[in-house]
Structure 1
Amino acid sequence: MNTPKSWSIDENTKQLVIKPEDETDYWQRTHYDFQHDNGHFLFQEQHGPFQLKTKVHLHPLHQYDQAGLYIRFDADNWVKASIEFMTEGENKLGAVVTKQGFSDWSTQPIGDDVTSISFRLSYIDPVCYIDYSLDEINWYQIRIGHLPMVPKTVPKVGLYACSPIKAGFSAAFDYLEIHSISDDRTKVYG
């Protein structure tokens, strides 16, 4: 969705490298009043309870350059988890849950030296679990959000990258893992 003009598979690292275009983002109304639905999104459709994981390396240049994981029902109902670059201060872990056309953004500082991070999103209707890891062994919760399945839709799940201000940065993804999980919520973190 919204294929970037510049993307490639690095021959040496085998990473997917995306260079987002100017003024790309996913955001709906809250606080800023604007609507953006033009980020770059590599996805597959996924039925039933599922989990997706990736490791992303951010090579940022401008405020809010971001990359991570995304689950989308439609333009008004989705969730994204990312590392976001801050030109002043520490980079942020960001989790946006958008329901019925309004985005709800939660953040926490991650440090200005952290530009590589792993994300894990688990979805058991109507709950989305968002975790991160610096070593892919120890996982830490960022957020648990309520995001009910939208009738007559199949979630699209995968990788995303955006450059809300100006193009120039790149995001490299080591892998994308997507698999079905049990609907037993007590096993999400097991």
Structure 2
Amino acid sequence: MNKTVRWNEAGWLNPPAAVRHDGDDLVVTTKDGSDFWRLTSYGFIHDDGHALLADFPVGAAVEVTFEADLTVLYDQAGVLVRVDESTWIKAGVEATDGAPHLGAVVTHGTSDWSMAPVPEWAGGPVTVRVSRSGDALTVRARSGDGPWRMVRLAYLSPDATATAGPFCCSVERGGLEVRFTSFRMGPADAGLHEGP
């Protein structure tokens, strides 16, 4: 990645309960009931999760590293790509069924959710990377310095004006603390099957 995005170079969508700087890290505390979701299965719309967003053009990639104790149902953190309230993608780690799960929610009017358990990732640093090329978002993630894992290939119109950056939510509680240690932007990946 070419450029570190300074925390003050991005803007908050739904400011969290608290934000503090700890050296180069940004420590974010969530509000109770915060989430991003639209209709499917649950029937509700939530657009009140916390996200720190910067411009995200075609040909760019965003990469966010975080640490958090995701233990309560639907505690989550990662990367949000947003066009508007009904067009967005979030990808990262979320607590469900008693374990952390790596996954993504893709929303074009209604949300879908794909996930896989990653209990071995609990408590450690996680990096989520979203690469935007043409009409596609390629989502990858890794734990620590481990290998990149493909998470999702999702459609996003090449004409869409999007923003992206770190996000976190806590649907069932307030006070989840997420430590974001890196927020970087750079060129998109060379290809779908070529890692960063």
Task: Sort the TM-score into its range (normalised by shorter chain).
Answer: 0.7 to 0.9
RMSD between superposed Cα atoms in Å: 1.9
* Cα contact 2:139–2:153 (8 A) shared by 1: yes
* Match for residue 140 of structure 2 among 128, 131, 149: 131
The answer to whether 1:23 aligns with 2:58 is no
Match of 1:94 in 2: 103
Match of 2:20 in 1: 8
Match of 1:189 in 2: 195
**Matched ranges for 1:113-152 at <5 A:** 114-116=122-124, 117-136=126-145, 138-149=147-158, 151=159
* Per-residue Cα deviation, 1:59-89 (whole angstroms, up to 9, x for no partner): 2352111111010011111111111123x53
Please identify which structure carries the higher strand content: 2
Q: TM-score, normalised by structure 2?
A: 0.85
One-letter code aligned to 1:105 = W
The answer to whether 1:49 aligns with 2:59 is yes
> What is the CA distance between 1:38 and its match in structure 2?
0.7
> Within 1, Cα distance between the matches of 2:47 and 2:138?
22
Counting matched residue pairs gives 183
Match of 1:171 in 2: 178
Q: TM-score, normalised by structure 1?
A: 0.88
* Cα contact 1:97–1:147 (8 A) shared by 2: no
The share of aligned pairs that are identical, in percent, is 27
Q: Structure 2 regions of 5+ residues with no counterpart?
A: 1-12
> Within 2, Cα distance between the matches of 1:135 and 1:17?
19
> What is the CA distance between 1:6 and its match in structure 2?
0.4
Q: Structure 1 regions of 5+ residues with no counterpart?
A: none
* Per-residue Cα deviation, 1:1-41 (whole angstroms, up to 9, x for no partner): 11113011114xx2111111011101011111100001111
* Displacement over 4 Å in runs of 4+: none
One-letter code aligned to 1:114 = A
